[in-house]
């Protein structure tokens, strides 16, 4: 298999696609991103990096950050987190509030917005939002082995200025006693993590521990346990694309986490960490060409986790 060629071919095919989906437009910083962008970076288990397209251009990773926040929260508070957030796919939109009523303020999973706000709250653990945001940024820089990872201040500000639904989710969960800190603090952490700005290369580097049983290749640092790594990957496969998770598993067959910035982190245990980026989204808010690129990559490499 010539992986470099496969990656280059996919980038060329995606550049030629006419139907690129719709760029998120709820904040100006996302609305002005050029839909013509496409980037891909694949880091293999052996440490080779294959990139093509706009793989070095930073973009807003948005909900992909939920994977890193969850990893850090599990490391800090461990299994008690699962009393406050579930592990079932929601079948609903990423920002839905509906299930919170019958399920008494316990979100279905940590990757829908409500679940991620609970994770942010758990990360706060009585500290100030600024400190927690700093911890998360340091953690992601460490994972990517790149000090160039930043939080985009304009995006963070717009997320907060337009985040009425997220604040509502926070308040609703607070009313059930499922937030320990002030709603404003938990949401502040959440808005800043959504504003993490990373390139495909940085994102694929940051995801390496997930293909490697929780160990960072190279440094050998233990990021999380093998058991948690398997579970985070399981959640990515079942919940990483919201109400499009079944379709993504059906078409691509690898654990993946998407964000409305058009990025997707894909994990092939024992084989590769992959990041793709194309800002146009499908009707479920997942990258249209990012999903197609991963589908072709899985097909040509045999990397679906269901391929024996």
Burial class (CB in 10 A: 0-12, 13-18, 19+), 247: middle
* Residue 172, marked binder: no
Residue 94 has which token pair? 């990423």
Spatial CA neighbour of 152 closest among 5, 23, 27: 27
Spatial CA neighbour of 218 closest among 143, 136, 139: 143
- Helices 164-175 and 113-124 pack at an angle, to 10 degrees, of 70
The distance of closest approach from Cβ of residue 30 to ligand GLN in the complex, given in angstroms and rounded to an integer, is: 9
| CB-nearer residue toward ligand GLN: 72 or 156 | 156
Q: Which of 188, 242, 273, 291 is catalytic?
A: 242
Selected binder of ligand GLN within 95, 99, 216, 304 (CB under 6 A)? 95
The distance of closest approach from Cβ of residue 258 to ligand GLN in the complex, given in angstroms and rounded to an integer, is: 7
Residue 277 has which token pair? 């980026």
Selected binder of ligand GLN within 55, 109, 113, 178 (CB under 6 A)? 113
Q: Which of 60, 66, 85, 278 is catalytic?
A: 66
Catalytic residue list contains 66: yes
* Residue 63, marked binder: yes
| CB-nearer residue toward ligand GLN: 51 or 152 | 152
Tell me which DSSP letter residue 88 carries: S
The distance of closest approach from Cβ of residue 10 to ligand GLN in the complex, given in angstroms and rounded to an integer, is: 23
Does residue 276 contact residue 266 with C-beta atoms inside 8 Å?
yes
By CB under 6 A, tell whether 285 contacts ligand GLN: yes
Q: Which of 67, 260, 267, 276 is catalytic?
A: 260
Selected binder of ligand GLN within 63, 199, 273, 278 (CB under 6 A)? 63
DSSP one-letter string for 216-285: PTTT--B-S-HHHHHHHHHHHHHHTTGGGHHHHHHHT-S-EEE-TTSEEEEEETTTEEEEEE-SEE-TTS
Catalytic residue list contains 63: yes
Does residue 145 contact residue 219 with C-beta atoms inside 8 Å?
yes
Q: 40-61: buried (b, 16+ CB within 10 Å) or exposed (e) per residue?
A: bbbbbeeeeebbbbbbebbbbb
By CB under 6 A, tell whether 158 contacts ligand GLN: no
The distance of closest approach from Cβ of residue 110 to ligand GLN in the complex, given in angstroms and rounded to an integer, is: 13
By CB under 6 A, tell whether 166 contacts ligand GLN: yes
Q: Which residues bind ligand GLN (CB under 6 A)?
A: 62-63, 94-95, 113, 159, 166, 194, 259-260, 285
Q: Which residues are annotated as a binding site for substrate?
A: 63, 113, 159, 166, 190, 242, 260
Catalytic residues: 63, 66, 190, 242, 260
């Amino acid at each position: 298999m010539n992986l470099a060629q496969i990656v280059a071919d996919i980038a060329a095919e995606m550049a030629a696609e006419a139907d690129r989906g719709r760029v998120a437009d709820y904040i100006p910083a996302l609305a002005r991103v050029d839909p013509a962008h496409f980037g891909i970076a694949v880091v293999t288990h052996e440490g080779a990096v294959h990139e093509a397209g706009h793989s070095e251009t930073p973009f807003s990773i948005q909900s992909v950050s939920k994977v890193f926040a969850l990893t850090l929260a599990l490391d800090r508070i461990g299994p008690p987190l699962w009393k406050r957030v579930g592990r079932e796919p929601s079948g609903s939109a990423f920002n839905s509030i509906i299930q919170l009523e019958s399920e008494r303020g316990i979100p279905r999973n940590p990757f829908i917005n409500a679940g991620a706000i609970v994770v942010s709250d758990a990360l706060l653990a009585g500290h100030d939002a600024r400190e927690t945001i700093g911890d998360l940024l340091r953690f992601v820089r460490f994972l990517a082995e790149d000090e160039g990872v930043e939080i985009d201040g304009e995006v963070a500000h717009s997320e907060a200025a337009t985040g009425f639904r997220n604040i509502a989710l926070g308040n609703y969960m607070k009313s059930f006693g499922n937030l320990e800190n002030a709603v404003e603090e938990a949401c502040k952490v959440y808005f800043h993590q959504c504003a993490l700005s990373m390139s495909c290369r940085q994102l694929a580097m940051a995801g390496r521990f997930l293909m490697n049983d929780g160990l960072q290749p190279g440094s050998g640092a233990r990021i999380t346990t093998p058991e948690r790594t398997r579970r985070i990957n399981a959640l990515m496969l079942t919940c990483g694309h919201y109400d499009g998770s079944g379709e993504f598993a059906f078409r691509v067959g690898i654990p993946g986490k998407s964000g409305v910035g058009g990025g997707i982190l894909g994990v092939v245990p024992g084989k590769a960490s992959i990041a793709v980026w194309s800002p146009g989204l499908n009707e479920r808010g997942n990258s249209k060409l990012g999903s197609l690129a991963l589908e072709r990559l899985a097909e040509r490499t045999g990397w679906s986790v269901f391929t024996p």
